[in-house]
Structure 1
Amino acid sequence: MSQQSVSDLKSFLINGEWVSNPTESFESINPATGEVNYRLSVATALHVDAAVASAKAAAALPSWKEMLPHVRAQILMRIAALIVERGDELAGLQMAENGKVWSECKAQAGSAAATFRYYAAVCETLGAEVTPSRGNYLSMTSYEPYGVVAAITPWNSPLTMEAQKVAPALAAGNAVILKPSEITPSAGLLLGEIALQAGLPPGILNVLTGNGAITGKSLVQHPGVRMVSFTGGTASGRAIGMMAAERLIPVALELGGKSPHIVFDDANLEAAVESIVGGIFEGSGQSCVAGSRLFVQSSVYDKLTALLVKRGQAIKLGLPDAPGSQMGPVSSFAHRTRIEQLVASAVAEGGQVLLGGQRPEGQEFEQGAYYLPTIVAGLDNQATAVREEIFGPVLCVLPFTDEADLIAQANDSAFGLASGIWTANYQRAWRVARALETGLVWINTYKQLSISTPFGGFKDSGIGREKGVTGLRLYQQSKGIYWSMDPDNFPVAATASTES
């Protein structure tokens, strides 16, 4: 990164300038080693005031407000190119802060670049509508930016999550204040630097570091912020939603999940096993769409469970940058403690640990926040570990008898983000997909994601849809325009006098 990443205290970005707060700071901890990465400044309410003022002023300047879409798209394309150019740097920052393995961090840096390219294309090509009139007038829809948007992102995948908010919000014509998680702040700071390098006007993207209680709350409650986009836990999302409701501003919430991954007895079990393992153990299970509730038809329950245990034993746990590592640590030591508590609750409620259920042994794991891939059986759908989002490498396996039993169990959850179905029967796949109360359904695959397809949840999993064309419209408000075609409503043109 630039000079601010190697200094004793990392700064944050306001109006194109790097600002430090020497009186309030916090540490970034490497979960793989327990070592301190660096210290970062906390943005206080006064810094939020300054960031909002700069964003509001920048958004109102003709140089941004009247910038033609194809010109704005060129800036987004340059951001994408610079993300590719600095992809290793971005991946390294994420790896050091949340412990994801190098291959996943690299892939997510590539995904972030692709997101900016996609929204550059949408920005340049998206049109509005001429609506059917009911009289002698022309009616149309115009889409306008909100002005200043607050984007608050989580720690599990900052590279992709920040791109998924910042790119469409900029494409829509807004100024953005990005508040990354205090656990993974550096990718957002580097994105701010890249945006300036790409030619984004100062103040259009500000990046503030700090925690939710100080920085995040000040940002959501600030009267100059006209829209909030948040990805994170359901409890935090609910609190943000309440603050936004008091201010009567729109909010987009992409929240937690307890996704059902379903295997019928006619499925390709070997293919299903690979997707199940990837769906829960990739990223140490720290994914909102993790397939954490596995429902298996009773007739193949024992066979599939045995295959899963064998496959789980083969996962290579190690340092995120070690050759061949498939799973690194969880994001923090506090988070590992919570995972351990929920696994203990599963055992206390009658669950049997078939795999893992503890910290790994070995000197290489002693200093990091590691936890083994874990499979728990013997619980019903009311167990604490089945109902609460663990957000870790813990899979709860439950049997079902028939389609009706499966749908009843799968939908008996406060969450409704994602689901997966494995079956050879396309008619059953369609019926179950329609019946599941989730915003995303995978059939004979899992965790396939595309920036072009809308993403979001039902129930406590959130409000609004990111990605796709709707992901840009999320950051705009529509305006109806009526233009009379009645000649009587126009001034009569003066006629030249015929008199000499």
Structure 2
Amino acid sequence: MTYDLPDGQLFIGGAWETGSGAEITSIYPADGSVNRVFRGASRADGERAIARALAAQADPAWRGLKPHERARILHRIADGIEANAARIAYIQTRDTGKSLRETSALVASAAGTFRYVAAALETLDDTMTVPRGDYLTLSVHEPLGLVAAITPWNSPIASDAQKVAPALAAGNAVLLKPASWSPLVSLELARIIEEAGLPKGLFSVLPGAGREVGNLLVEHTSIAKVSFTGGTSTGRTLARQAAEKLMPVSLELGGKSPTIVFEDADQTLAIAGILFGIFSSSGQSCIAGSRLFVQRSIYDSFVARLVEATKALRVGDPFDPETQVAPLIHADHRASVSAMVEAAVADGATLLCGGKAPTGGIYDAGTYYMPTILADVTNDALICREEVFGPVLVVMPFDDEADVIAQSNDNVYGLACGIWTRDFPRAYRMARAITSGTAWINTYKQFSISTPFGGEKDAGIGREKGREGIRAYMAQKALYVDLTGRPHPWARMED
């Protein structure tokens, strides 16, 4: 079944308007056809959205709502996502090239995020602290005010929900800037949020150039926080800009995550998890397990099995339910992935499989790339240091725990890791020893909205998800209430 795509109108402060910024072209990666051409947001559009958001957020009709009353709206948004799940999944597949099976799961995740955040909001208590005098002391939390959310092109509906839901739950207004390569599903989310009854002005969707709209959202004095998911170099720039105004930021950036297979691992289980960890989403995932370390005693036989399993993966049409690896997002991105593989081979890496775009039939028109495994590299090779963001895995042997811990941590990123072993004490030691925000044991790339997520080192700052994910969009305030009814003795005003 096909669905109409969003018409390209922008949602600016509660009103659907034609953007006045540069033209945006959404392309279907599977065949290069054009989904939609429309005008993105300009700086003036962003300024208008900010003005409307400030007025709406200051209105007691929103700011004064009790948590359970805000939660009702979040539940209605979740209902709207679920009721439109097939349509949203279709739009995201057209926009990103992800398989329909994957986008359907992402839509379910987005609905679950709004549902969880609504439930958490109703039970998120402030605290009465222990007094140190004749007064009552409390710790309370208040909205920051106006929050900007900047999301990437690889999983927009899930990334949007992960930022928008807790920011709204906290009582803020939210300006969402989706990536120009995948703007349509965020506009569809705006329609659902509008229909759920969120007061006008509290939410805007502003696809547009980073140098124009993105800079405005970071630099504007009224923006109280920016939550950004994307590349590390852009994150560094954003952090410098935020520092000038002493604005808090949340940065979920790149990764070069290690996956470790010990000789006692269940190899079938490990191979299935490794394939999913690197080749699902066509490798276009920050937490992709892109560096594989295999204990030397099983290295040759394990890698041989892995290569055969990789060759058997189904590369194809995103709407085919049998497809496991769909096309990459854009021709420019595929060229970047291909160039990194070619450079690695030129530097001495051995290509075990893949390393090229498939040809013939549907492949000629789309931006497909074969699942790729490279061997005979060392951990200091460029292909092991830089994020490829494509279906490319490098495999290396290791000798013992100390060796693999050192190699795993010898990287600027610290986002995630995977550990495959039947020895639980060893798994626990490894999970604690490797610098990462997430460690998976005998599984990979599993997520829960209830569990905090983020990275270390160049992988980012801050955490999203979990109950405290709402607090990340709030300011903490201390309250002191006198219990004596007497003037302070310093003033010497006693009767």
Distance between the aligned counterparts of 2:288 and 2:338, measured in 1?
A: 18
Matching residue of 1:280: 278
Q: In structure 2, what residue type is equivalent to 1:453?
A: T
Matches within 5 A, 1:127-276: 127-276=125-274
Q: 1:442 aligned to 437, 440, 448, which one?
A: 440
Matching residue of 2:492: none
SS state at 1:139 partner: strand
Matching residue of 2:88: 90
Matching residue of 1:305: 303
Question: What do the CA deviations read for 1:201-230 (whole angstroms, capped 9, x no partner)?
Answer: 011111111121221112211111111000
2:21–2:41 CA contact under 8 A, matched in 1 = no
Distance between the aligned counterparts of 2:308 and 2:5, measured in 1?
A: 43
Is residue 451 of structure 1 aligned with residue 459 of structure 2? no
Q: 2:339 aligned to 327, 332, 341, which one?
A: 341
Question: What do the CA deviations read for 1:91-141 (whole angstroms, capped 9, x no partner)?
Answer: 111111111000000011010000000011011111011112222221111
Report the alpha carbon displacement of residue 361 of structure 1 after superposing the two structures with TM. 2.1
SS state at 1:55 partner: helix
Distance between the aligned counterparts of 2:423 and 2:175, measured in 1?
A: 47
Distance between the aligned counterparts of 2:447 and 2:21, measured in 1?
A: 42
Distance between the aligned counterparts of 2:144 and 2:389, measured in 1?
A: 33
2:19–2:45 CA contact under 8 A, matched in 1 = no
Q: 1:401 aligned to 396, 399, 402, which one?
A: 399
Say which is worse superposed, 125-134 or 76-85, in terms of deviation: 125-134
Report the alpha carbon displacement of residue 396 of structure 1 after superposing the two structures with TM. 0.4
Question: What do the CA deviations read for 1:42-71 (whole angstroms, capped 9, x no partner)?
Answer: 211111110111111100001001011111
Matching residue of 1:496: none
Distance between the aligned counterparts of 1:61 and 1:367, measured in 2?
A: 51
Is residue 26 of structure 1 aligned with residue 24 of structure 2? yes
Distance between the aligned counterparts of 1:211 and 1:292, measured in 2?
A: 30
Report the alpha carbon displacement of residue 5 of structure 1 after superposing the two structures with TM. 4.5
Question: What do the CA deviations read for 1:379-433 (whole angstroms, capped 9, x no partner)?
Answer: 0001111100000000000111111110100000000000011111111111111
Say which is worse superposed, 306-315 or 162-171, in terms of deviation: 306-315
2:100–2:321 CA contact under 8 A, matched in 1 = no
Distance between the aligned counterparts of 2:198 and 2:54, measured in 1?
A: 15
Report the alpha carbon displacement of residue 483 of structure 1 after superposing the two structures with TM. 1.4
Matching residue of 1:350: 348
User: For the structure 1 residues 184 and 198, does the alpha-carbon distance in structure 2 shift closer, same or farther, using more than 3 Å as the test?
Assistant: same
Distance between the aligned counterparts of 2:286 and 2:423, measured in 1?
A: 28
Say which is worse superposed, 322-331 or 367-376, in terms of deviation: 322-331
1:41–1:209 CA contact under 8 A, matched in 2 = no
Distance between the aligned counterparts of 2:321 and 2:423, measured in 1?
A: 40
User: For the structure 1 residues 6 and 288, does the alpha-carbon distance in structure 2 shift closer, same or farther, using more than 3 Å as the test?
Assistant: closer
Cα RMSD after superposing both structures: 1.3
Question: What do the CA deviations read for 1:313-332 (whole angstroms, capped 9, x no partner)?
Answer: 11101110023111110111
2:21–2:208 CA contact under 8 A, matched in 1 = no
Matching residue of 2:73: 75
Distance between the aligned counterparts of 2:183 and 2:15, measured in 1?
A: 17
Q: In structure 1, what residue type is equivalent to 2:176?
A: L
Q: In structure 2, what residue type is equivalent to 1:234?
A: T
Distance between the aligned counterparts of 2:468 and 2:244, measured in 1?
A: 25
Q: In structure 2, what residue type is equivalent to 1:113?
A: A
User: For the structure 1 residues 4 and 305, does the alpha-carbon distance in structure 2 shift closer, same or farther, using more than 3 Å as the test?
Assistant: closer
Counting aligned pairs with the same residue, the percent is 50
Q: 1:466 aligned to 454, 464, 467, which one?
A: 464
1:356–1:374 CA contact under 8 A, matched in 2 = yes
Distance between the aligned counterparts of 2:286 and 2:483, measured in 1?
A: 51
Distance between the aligned counterparts of 2:285 and 2:244, measured in 1?
A: 30
Report the alpha carbon displacement of residue 482 of structure 1 after superposing the two structures with TM. 1.3
Report the alpha carbon displacement of residue 23 of structure 1 after superposing the two structures with TM. 6.6
1:100–1:329 CA contact under 8 A, matched in 2 = yes
2:398–2:404 CA contact under 8 A, matched in 1 = yes
Distance between the aligned counterparts of 1:258 and 1:194, measured in 2?
A: 35
Q: Which runs of 5+ in 1 are unaligned?
A: 491-500
Report the alpha carbon displacement of residue 488 of structure 1 after superposing the two structures with TM. 2.3
Distance between the aligned counterparts of 1:24 and 1:391, measured in 2?
A: 27
Using the size of structure 1 for normalisation, the TM-score is 0.95
Distance between the aligned counterparts of 2:421 and 2:254, measured in 1?
A: 26
User: For the structure 1 residues 54 and 22, does the alpha-carbon distance in structure 2 shift closer, same or farther, using more than 3 Å as the test?
Assistant: closer
Report the alpha carbon displacement of residue 489 of structure 1 after superposing the two structures with TM. 4.3
SS state at 1:468 partner: coil
Q: 2:424 aligned to 420, 423, 426, which one?
A: 426
SS state at 1:488 partner: coil
Q: In structure 1, what residue type is equivalent to 2:317?
A: L
Matching residue of 1:292: 290
Matches within 5 A, 1:312-331: 312-331=310-329
Distance between the aligned counterparts of 2:399 and 2:21, measured in 1?
A: 60
Matching residue of 2:373: 375
1:53–1:224 CA contact under 8 A, matched in 2 = no
Q: In structure 2, what residue type is equivalent to 1:214?
A: E
Q: In structure 1, what residue type is equivalent to 2:352?
A: L
1:91–1:106 CA contact under 8 A, matched in 2 = yes
User: For the structure 1 residues 393 and 23, does the alpha-carbon distance in structure 2 shift closer, same or farther, using more than 3 Å as the test?
Assistant: closer
Distance between the aligned counterparts of 2:382 and 2:273, measured in 1?
A: 25
1:4–1:11 CA contact under 8 A, matched in 2 = no
Say which is worse superposed, 78-87 or 218-227, in terms of deviation: 218-227
Question: What do the CA deviations read for 1:321-361 (whole angstroms, capped 9, x no partner)?
Answer: 02311111011100000001110111012110101011112
Distance between the aligned counterparts of 2:265 and 2:6, measured in 1?
A: 52
Question: What do the CA deviations read for 1:412-458 (whole angstroms, capped 9, x no partner)?
Answer: 00000000111111111111111100010011111111000000000
Distance between the aligned counterparts of 2:251 and 2:20, measured in 1?
A: 33
SS state at 2:132 partner: coil
1:40–1:209 CA contact under 8 A, matched in 2 = no
Report the alpha carbon displacement of residue 22 of structure 1 after superposing the two structures with TM. 5.7
2:150–2:228 CA contact under 8 A, matched in 1 = yes
Say which is worse superposed, 372-381 or 132-141, in terms of deviation: 132-141
Question: What do the CA deviations read for 1:142-170 (whole angstroms, capped 9, x no partner)?
Answer: 11111000000000000100000000000
